[in-house]
Structure 1
């Protein structure tokens, strides 16, 4: 009985957005998160700065890059590239505080690095952050976009196939970019990194967006846990 049980545990499929081996050093896992977030931000900023680009082409570039990055780094770090995923996993007891701190720091640093790299390759200078206050519609847009994205993420963590998550997230993100007035930032690391882009962003807007993004993620986590009330 004991051997059979251990065998069953070993053959459990790895989950989406959870690293395959939690004993890998935090440096290596955090590096994967930082590099992945930087590459995502290059796609976000670069697709907007590219001459002749459209909202559709930008949405495709961002969604495609995210799918590829999750597939590439997911086995090592879980492929979050988004502090909301990391924070919700910590709050639900699925991730330790030290790992959460390393991940969030790496994601924020990676996002800023990606924005600066994109500015460099497009020969643009980062703008000066403003102090504009976001409207209710913008806050609602980000809350909804984050709720939708995190709903997809946390539903996919319950899938028996680890390859479901990247494509589901990419497809939702592409649709949300095209159908929300804020173009579905839905990621605190990306929101913070917008401060280092040519157009820059309002520091007040960024802080407000981060708050509603995390709140939307928390509501999504509660919704998914209620819908899947029988657990994982």
Structure 2
């Protein structure tokens, strides 16, 4: 059985990345996505700016925050905090267009807000954007990272529930941050919000990162539907 078109039909679900009650106002669900993405970005940026932080401690902070946020907000919004998840649900007919637009706009706004809050808290102004082209290896890194993260996400959404999925996703993200050259950004909203961080971001690199992240997510969705053809 497919998942009812979220935002159009009132239903209840205990699956990962699906809200429990789609009759809840779209504003409330989108607000949960925006606040959750902002908090995630605070962990992403703050863990990197904190004195004495290491790659391992930063990875633990980011993955731990994601687990907590998914558990906290998942019942209301599905706990996406990533436009690729929302986009793939819309393309598969699981979510209405208006809901997808609200979610993605909230995720991007939340990520930008979170980055600015972190910069303010640490007293470091956002850097100026550049126009350097990314390396082929960095693009490949984001493609692989996005495919891996989204494969775990979509397989969990078809095979387990809200109490298990967040830990599976968080554990994979922890490993991916430590094992990919780009640190597994794997999130278009996070990539776009790099413009609001103290580190200077390249317009060209961010644009291409978003493209390969969505491509990786699309391949992951196809992989998950092939492995779990009768899933949600």
In the alignment, the residues of structure 2 paired with residue 190 and residue 48 of structure 1 have an alpha-carbon distance, to the nearest angstrom, of: 14
Compared CA separation, residues 199 and 13, structure 1 to 2 (3 A): closer
TM-score, length of structure 2 as denominator length: 0.94
Q: Does 1:87 align with 2:87?
A: yes
Contact 2:125 2:198 in 1 (8 A): yes
Q: Where does residue 178 of structure 2 map in the other structure?
A: 178
Check the 8 A contact 1:225/1:231 in 2, yes or no: yes
Determine which structure has more spread, i.e. the larger CA radius of gyration: 1
> What do the CA deviations read for 1:151-200 (whole angstroms, capped 9, x no partner)?
00000011343211100010000000000000000000000000111112
1:115-146, CA deviations, whole angstroms, 9 ceiling, x for partnerless residues? Answer: 00000000000000000101110000000000
Query: SS where residue 159 of structure 2 aligns?
Result: coil
> How many Å separate the matches in 2 of 1:160 and 1:48?
32
1:15 equivalent in alignment to 2:15: yes
Count of aligned positions:
222
The match for 1:202 is 202
What secondary structure sits across from 2:39 in the alignment?
helix
**Structure 1 stretches of 4+ moved >3 Å:** none
TM superposition shift of 1:13:
5.4
Once residues 208 and 135 of structure 2 are traced to their aligned partners in structure 1, the CA distance between those partners, rounded to angstroms, is 10
Q: Secondary structure at the match of 1:18?
A: coil
CA separation in 1, counterparts of 2:167 and 2:231? 23
Equivalent in the alignment of 1:218 = 218
Other-structure match for 2:135: 135
8 Å contact kept, 2:33–2:103: yes
Change (3 A) 1:13 1:76: closer
Change (3 A) 1:18 1:205: same
> Do the aligned partners of 2:13 and 2:20 also contact (CA within 8 Å) in 1?
no
Q: How far is 1:14 from its partner?
A: 1.1
Using the alignment, how far apart are the partners of 2:108 and 2:231 within structure 1?
31
Query: Given that residues 34 and 109 in structure 1 are in contact (C-alpha distance below 8 angstroms), is that contact kept between their aligned partners in structure 2?
Result: yes
Whole-angstrom CA distance in 2 between matches of 1:174 and 1:214: 20
Change (3 A) 1:45 1:160: closer
* Pairing 1:165–2:168 present: no
Aligned partners of 1:13 and 1:161 also within 8 Å: no
Is the contact between residue 13 and residue 160 of structure 1 (CA under 8 Å) also seen in structure 2? no
> Which segments of 5 or more consecutive residues in structure 2 lack a partner in the other structure?
1-11
